[in-house]
Structure 1
Amino acid sequence: MSARHSPSSARRGPFRPEQLVPARARIEARALARAFRGVDGLVAAGFCAAIFWVQAQRSGDALLAVNAAAALSAGVVALLTSLRALDAYVFARREPLPRHLLRVVAAFGAAATVVLAVNTIWPALPTSSSFPVLAFMGLVPLLTVLHTTWWNLIAQGRRQGRLTPNIVVVGATANAQHLIEAALRTGEVNVLGIFDDRLDRAPENLLGVPVLGDTSALIDHRVMPYVDRVVIAVTSTAQGRVRQLVDKLDVLPNPISLFVDVGRDADRDAAISRIADAALTELSGAEIDARKAFIKRLQDLVVGIGGLIVAAPVMAIVAVAVRLDSPGPIFFRQRRLGFNNEEILVWKFRSMRHEMADAKAARQISANDDRVTRVGKFIRKTSLDELPQLFNVLRGEMSIVGPRPHAVGMKTGDIESAKLVEQYAHRHRMKPGVTGWAAINGSRGPVDTPQLVRDRVALDVDYIERQSFWLDLYIIVMTIPCLLGDRSTVR
């Protein structure tokens, strides 16, 4: 492989954000926009209620207050409808703040017309006060401040790489060039690099996006934990080549799509903006459901915070016991593989003698292991050593329920465990968990034979395909009785 195509090259393309953010930390811009719309609605409704109260207190006339409430309520509904209709929650990448605020002002214009109309024709009173119209205009500075804040949050999130999906392209082809051109126009995705098996014919870059290596390099490339999607950009009519690439890349935890170039800029832009829809045809990878991901993260935060509060006294006792039992630190930190093969630092209470710690799990735990301390035997048997991983959950690196994280380079016998099962990385299509489906189904402890590795991976993939709020709740509830009833597992 030539130096210019070396996967270790630190070349940057036109899309590279200020900071590469792991795919697990990516925020969906549409979810943020829905949150902004909700806050706008609450602020407008609260303002309407406050004006109703002021009018009732000032006039002492219930009918006049009802008149104001009707006009303002209609205005709030019209305002929120107009904001959405005028794309005030789209936050186009290249739209400057003044133009965005013009949309807000235009929405106010439409809403103020509705307030005036309702205030004029409302039948509760023969004459109408101008108070509702003037009061409604008090929302203008409030919504202007809010939308200035929203615009800046979106801009900052994009600069930090948290809002824009990262992709890599397979195939330095004309299709790839069209995709990159559309991405440059719309700014909807970051194309971090290109991989092509025909390096002798591939250019050094396409429109500034570097060719980082062949597809074999892609599988282990250090950029992959930051990649949301792999896009195959070879000619879609080359079905044999496409199938060959899909089969080869299926070992990746990252979703894979095929870019079908339909020849028109507008359609290419639409394909980029919808990245997993229209001209981007889904080929493989875990199903992405933003709503399920949000609920799972909320569940993690609630259970994680609650678990820390409940477990705090126990953790304090364990920490003291570990310190008194043997020399060395209280905590053991180990690099393990997380979502999209991201390396994360997992925390545990130290259960082994410090001088015999095995950070890469080259030797898995065994019965009567001489490395384990007296306190270590107890906390491993009861899984109390895993409690510090609640901090990993709160940091967003782990989930309460998911495949257990394995150490980077963990070996089964003399072979790296990841090489024993072709789809081993599929277990990294979801954040690792403190507990999991495999753990409550007997696959707990070391995986020191090839069959145990295959069983663990099969259970993990089964969980990922079936994951739901209720399944997670069931696993959480079943974890304690499974631990209490488990006397044979080596830990």
Structure 2
Amino acid sequence: MFRNTARVFDALFVIAGGLLAHGVRYSTAIGLEDTQRLLVAFNCALVLLLFPVFGIYETWRGKSLPTMLARVAAAWLVVVVSGLMLVFTLHRADSISRLWFAYATLISGALILATKLIAHLLLRVARRRGLNYRTVALVGAPGFTRTLLAHLEQRAHAGFKPVCVFDTTNAESDLPHLSINGLPTLEDMNAFVQKVREEHINEVWLALPLSEEHTIYRFTRAFQNDFVNLRLIPDTRSLALFNHTLVDVLGLPTISLTGMPIPTPQMWPKLVFDRVFALAALTLLMPLFAVIAIAIKLNSPGPVFFRQKRKGIDGRTFDIYKFRSMTVHREVAGVVTQASQHDARVTKVGAFLRRTSLDELPQFFNVLLGQMSVVGPRPHALEHDDLYKDLVYGYMHRYRIKPGITGWAQVNGYRGATRTVEKMEARVKFDLFYIHNWSFWFDIKIVLITLVKGFVGRNAY
């Protein structure tokens, strides 16, 4: 019912767009010309035919809102281009006002996108209040099911309500029963199946390792005649740190365990933002660069910039740029001594630069060259990489994405010298959280926090 209503409204929005565009262009919303009526009718038919093909009317429950809106925009673009091709094929392009066509395209597209967005946001509000939800039964070990329950609680707007858990660890043992997050926890297979059927539970999520093929088969066989949505959520925590993606290789489905954690198409906004932001920052900061350069030269002999080898994405090394903040000195080969409080090597100008993070500004050149990002895990000296890679679990996974000038760890207080393994573990934990939960808007949030409070740090000597 809802899907059919949505289709009718989308077709009506195409008509409304054509009429409103005519009103804007000719100061009257009536009297569409023959070619305009033909184009509007053709676009209505295409919307009814093509939008379902693009999955526009599938449930958006639990899916990314930007991705779904992008799909709607792509579908509308296909409709518009197809209508334009029809006009050219019939040799009626001269009878269509380009301004009317542009207005109609924008108005109809905006109406379709706006209503989809409003409907989605209203459903989110309803689901947060306990309406329009789907009940879920979880199957798996307590550790992973608790992780899933935490995800469900954080994303209540998706409309999935957990109602019970089947504990596979106690299913065939005499261990005492333990409740999981206050939910009814079952251990008997027949009792679990009966509960799902009697309470008409909508979905059963199998949170099991891939090695539990026999258990997976038991549940698929148990529910083979039931109209319950059975989902497999592989428990791959022991295999790698990243969310694993299913990719096609030679026509075979494969799970990427250590590859790029974020699909390349999703990274395009970040790539564009990095270049634009870096170019704007360098342009605006040139006068400040000149002042800092003069201050460095007057304060101590040596170059203005300091270069050091760092690891970038996938471990590729590059030269990172900073304003020189220390006197020129030589380090012992293979050893990098971190700056400490009252470090004699740090110049007076350098101390101010390090405390305010102004020494990091030349790294916008690295961003412009594509070696770094504005936001990402901070790159460490190669000697520190060699030290911590075997001491801190997941340390090298930070280099699966481009390192950044600022990051989630830095805005949470982890900047400057890191002298203990515990502090490095905490920093890496924040970096991995950022990678797991990356979005373009998460980057913008970190940039804004950095602008407000991220320039000065107590640990930067």
Taking structure 2 as the reference length, the TM-score comes to 0.48
**TM-score, normalisation: structure 1:** 0.46
Q: Which has the higher contact order (CA 8 A, sep 6+)?
A: 1
